[in-house]
């Protein structure tokens, strides 16, 4: 091709600029243009909650390079020879003539741009509940620089006392922390029975408890049905159950939907998950148009089913692939997602990769899961707690999911598991994983490997597990279970469930088997602090003929309900 290729990128947040920059690095001679509806470019939008919360104060850090240069049109022009039209909207695509029709919102002028390859990166739009009062002042999302500025000002002004966050997902929970750190009394309202739906309920409940312990309130199984106001200002939200919660601020964080308006108008195929349909090369139904970022749908690598995966890291990776393919044709594939995610909430983190047990079962997998409590480092190095749930596919033996919450190094646990899932490693492979070990970083047997050991033991029938939720049900129903705590008397004094349990320390168990139920078929549920001793106790009891012995997974540390002490 003699002349240089013309590439237009629609969208300037994450995927778009990445695609444009990648294309530039691959071809110095291409003509590359970004059309961005908003004012700002290449925003670190995942950083908004930390700016709002005061973790840092210089908002320009959200839109600057690591060297401190603001990523404005001037920067793109000088450093990357990329022409940027910001505050400019692509309102139509003339696919036949390969033109994009644009409106400059600064002066309302309309103009056309010619392309050889087009990249659509129009992102996502926040869901907004269509409720009475939704236009009252004081209702916002946290999706844009302007939102971040608005909420940061509220923080700095210190006038607002009460706020609600609608939605207990990643953004909602991060926003909860940000506003709580700003001294605002927060209530999170989630319509599902739990927050952080990527977690199974027993782990989500632990996060909920932690948020409450930090003085923010969480309401589940409820929803806002009306915004109430005075003089155009929000004064309260009304919930489904009739309660009115006074508040001066409501942040809506009930998810995002792919912004496919332009693609639809241009007649591009929209997929089953309502994102722009793309093939593995991120090519749309028009061979000259690629798409990347939140506006597309991509396959779940475990199920093959197309999903929205509106994560900032994937937007960048997709942009890199789309940028190259738009230049050279279909040279690189983007395989898909395993929905890896993480968020920090006060002193805890919560993350997940692959599928939760609930999701896996719903998708028809025959799975085995286990919940484990453990430290990330030795106690003498001030190790912190991790509660992990690991899920394997029984048919293949492969790891297909890991969730982890707690004060410890959750990020590493999730990252390790994500790579293991991508590498199709089985639990049998992972029980002997050669990981970096030294006491400042991890236990001799890293929590991840220990989890795989426990799951392997469970799969091999060495113990039967029972979740804290199931135990709690039994307690509530007063089922005739023999609860056995095998910790030391001192530990029992300091902390205990108080569910009618018997204390027999592990070290004394073999001599005190006579204190166990006479009926060898009676249900015995055994636990300790983290249920390592609980497991050892179960092995002993089973060996002595009791047939219905279960280990309460994760022990007391993973117990999310009321306890006596």
| Selected range binding a copy of itself among 138-146, 225-233, 405-413, 492-500, rule: CB under 8 A | 405-413
Minimum CB separation of residue 560 from a copy of itself in Å reads 21
Which tokens go with 203?
């782990």
Q: Which of these, 352, 385, 388, lies nearest to 370 by C-alpha position?
A: 388
User: Of 210-269, which residues contact a copy of itself (CB under 8 A)?
Assistant: none
Residue (134 or 344) nearer to a copy of itself, CB = 344
Among positions 295-354, residues that touch a copy of itself (CB under 8 A) are 301, 311-317, 320-321, 333-344, 349, 351, 353
Shortest spacing between CB 186 and a copy of itself, in angstroms: 19
Shortest reach from residue 127's CB to a copy of itself, in Å = 21
Distances (CA, A) of 456 to 179, 392, 446, 529: 42, 9, 15, 21
Torsion of CA 498, 503, 507, 508, to 10 degrees: 180
12: left (phi over 0), alpha (psi -120 to 50) or beta: alpha
Q: What is the largest CA-CA distance in the chain?
A: 90
The residue from 91, 101, 136, 422 that contacts a copy of itself (CB under 8 A) is 422
Minimum Å distance from CB 380 to a copy of itself?
A: 4
Quick check: 387 and 372 in contact, CB under 8 A?
Answer: yes
Q: CA-to-CA distance for 473 and 470, rounded, in angstroms?
A: 5
d(CA 320, CA 16): 9
Question: How many chain residues interact with a copy of itself (CB under 8 A)?
Answer: 107
Residues pairing with 113 in the sheet: 100
Q: Give the integer Cα–Cα distance in Å for 310 and 292.
A: 10
Residues 74-113 that bind a copy of itself (CB under 8 A): 75, 78-81
Q: What is the CA radius of gyration of the chain?
A: 27
Residue 451 CB, nearest distance to a copy of itself (Å)? 13
Beta strands 217-219 and 298-299 are: unpaired
Out of 432, 461, 478, 564, point to the residue binding a copy of itself (CB under 8 A): 432
Q: Closer CB to a copy of itself, residue 103 or residue 421? A: 421
Return the structure tokens found at 248. Answer: 């001066």
Q: 384 to 403, contacts with a copy of itself by CB under 8 A?
A: none
User: Toward a copy of itself, which CB reaches closer, 8 or 373?
Assistant: 373
Of the two residues 248 and 485, which places its CB atom closer to a copy of itself in the complex? 485
Q: Which two tokens stand for residue 537?
A: 């106790």
- Beta carbons of 235 and 160 less than 8 angstroms apart: no
Distance CA 403, CA 414 (A): 7
Q: Which range of residues in 93-101, 208-216, 404-412, 495-503 is near a copy of itself by CB under 8 A?
A: 404-412
Phi, psi of 342 (to 5 degrees): -155, 150
Binding mask 364-383 for a copy of itself (x = CB under 8 A): -----------x--xxxx--
Looking at 6, 474, 491, 517, which residue binds a copy of itself (CB under 8 A)? 491
- Kindly tell me which of 203 and 343 has the beta carbon lying closer to a copy of itself: 343
Query: In the complex, what is the shortest distance from the CB of residue 205 to a copy of itself, in angstroms, rounded to a whole number?
Result: 21
Determine the Cα–Cα distance for residues 555 and 166; give it in Å rounded to an integer: 32
Name residues contacting a copy of itself, limited to 511-550 (CB under 8 A).
528-530, 532-533, 535-536, 539-540, 542-544
Interaction between residue 281 and a copy of itself (CB under 8 A): no
**Nearer CB in complex with a copy of itself: 90/321:** 321
What is the x/- site pattern for a copy of itself, positions 128-157, by CB under 8 A? ------------------------------
User: Per-residue contact track with a copy of itself, 20 to 59, x per CB under 8 A?
Assistant: ----xxx-xx--------------x-xx--xx---xx-x-
CB-based burial label for 312 (10 Å; 0-12, 13-18, 19+) = middle
Q: Regarding beta strands 289-291 and 117-120, do their DSSP bridges make them parallel or antiparallel, or are they unpaired? A: parallel
Does 459 participate in binding a copy of itself (rule CB under 8 A)?
Answer: no
Q: Applying CB under 8 A, does 67 fall inside the site for a copy of itself?
A: yes
564 binds a copy of itself (CB under 8 A): no
Rank residues 190 and 409 by Cβ distance to a copy of itself and give the closer one.
409
Tokens read off for 373: 């409590």
If phi > 0 it is left, if psi is from -120 to 50 it is alpha, else beta; for residue 545 that is left
Based on the shown chain and the rule CB under 8 A, indicate whether residue 503 belongs to the binding site for a copy of itself: no
């Amino acid at each position: 091709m003699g002349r240089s290729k013309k590439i237009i990128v629609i969208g300037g947040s994450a995927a778009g600029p990445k695609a444009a920059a990648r294309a530039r690095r691959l071809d110095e001679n291409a003509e590359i243009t970004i059309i961005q509806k908003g004012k700002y470019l290449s925003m670190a939008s995942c950083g908004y909650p930390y700016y709002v919360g005061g973790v840092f104060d210089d908002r320009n850090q959200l839109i600057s390079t690591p060297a401190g240069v603001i990523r404005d049109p001037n920067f793109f022009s000088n450093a990357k020879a990329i022409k940027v039209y910001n505050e400019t909207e692509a309102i139509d695509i003339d696919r036949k003539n390969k033109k994009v029709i644009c409106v400059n919102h600064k002066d309302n002028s309309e103009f056309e741009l010619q392309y050889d390859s087009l990249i659509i990166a129009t992102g996502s739009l926040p869901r907004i509940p269509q409720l009475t009062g939704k236009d009252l002042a004081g209702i916002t999302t946290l999706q844009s620089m302007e939102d971040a500025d608005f909420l940061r000002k509220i923080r700095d002004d210190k006038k607002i006392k009460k706020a609600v966050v609608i939605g207990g997902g990643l953004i909602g929970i991060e926003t909860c922390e940000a506003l709580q750190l700003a001294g605002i009394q927060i209530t999170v309202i989630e319509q599902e029975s739990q927050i952080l739906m990527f977690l199974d309920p027993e782990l989500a409940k632990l996060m909920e408890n932690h948020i409450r312990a930090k003085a923010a309130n969480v309401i589940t199984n409820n929803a806002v049905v009306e915004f109430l106001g005075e003089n155009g200002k929000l004064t309260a939200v009304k919930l489904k159950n009739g309660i009115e919660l006074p508040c001066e601020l409501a942040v809506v964080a009930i998810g995002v939907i792919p912004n496919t308006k332009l693609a639809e108008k241009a007649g591009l195929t929209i997929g089953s998950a309502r994102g722009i349909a793309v093939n593995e090369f991120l090519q749309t139904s028009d061979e000259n148009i690629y798409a990347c970022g939140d506006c597309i749908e991509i396959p779940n690598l475990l199920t093959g089913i197309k999903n929205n995966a509106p994560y900032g890291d994937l937007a960048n990776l997709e942009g890199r692939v789309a940028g190259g393919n738009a230049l050279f044709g279909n040279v690189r594939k983007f395989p898909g997602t395993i929905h890896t995610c993480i968020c920090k909430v006060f002193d805890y983190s919560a993350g997940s990769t692959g599928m939760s047990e609930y999701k896996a079962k719903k998708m028809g997998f025959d799975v085995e899961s286990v919940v484990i409590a453990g430290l990330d480092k030795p106690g003498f190095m001030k190790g912190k707690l991790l509660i992990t749930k690991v899920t394997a596919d029984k048919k293949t033996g492969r790891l297909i999911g890991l969730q982890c919450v707690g004060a410890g190094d959750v990020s590493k646990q999730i990252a390790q598991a994500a790579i293991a899932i991508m590498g199709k490693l089985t639990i049998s492979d992972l029980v002997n994983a050669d990981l970096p070990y030294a006491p400042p970083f991890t236990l001799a047997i890293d929590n991840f490997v220990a989890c795989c050991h426990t799951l392997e033991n469970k799969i091999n029938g060495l113990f039967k597990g029972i979740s804290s939720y199931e135990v709690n049900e039994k307690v509530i129903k007063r089922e005739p279970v023999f609860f056995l705590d095998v910790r030391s008397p001192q530990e029992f004094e300091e902390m205990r469930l108080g569910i009618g349990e018997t204390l027999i320390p592990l070290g004394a168990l073999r001599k005190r088997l006579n204190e166990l139920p006479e009926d060898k078929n009676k249900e015995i549920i055994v636990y300790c602090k983290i249920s390592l001793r609980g497991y050892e106790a179960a092995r002993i009891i089973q060996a002595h003929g009791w047939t219905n012995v279960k280990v309460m997974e994760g022990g007391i540390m993973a117990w999310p309900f009321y306890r006596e002490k």
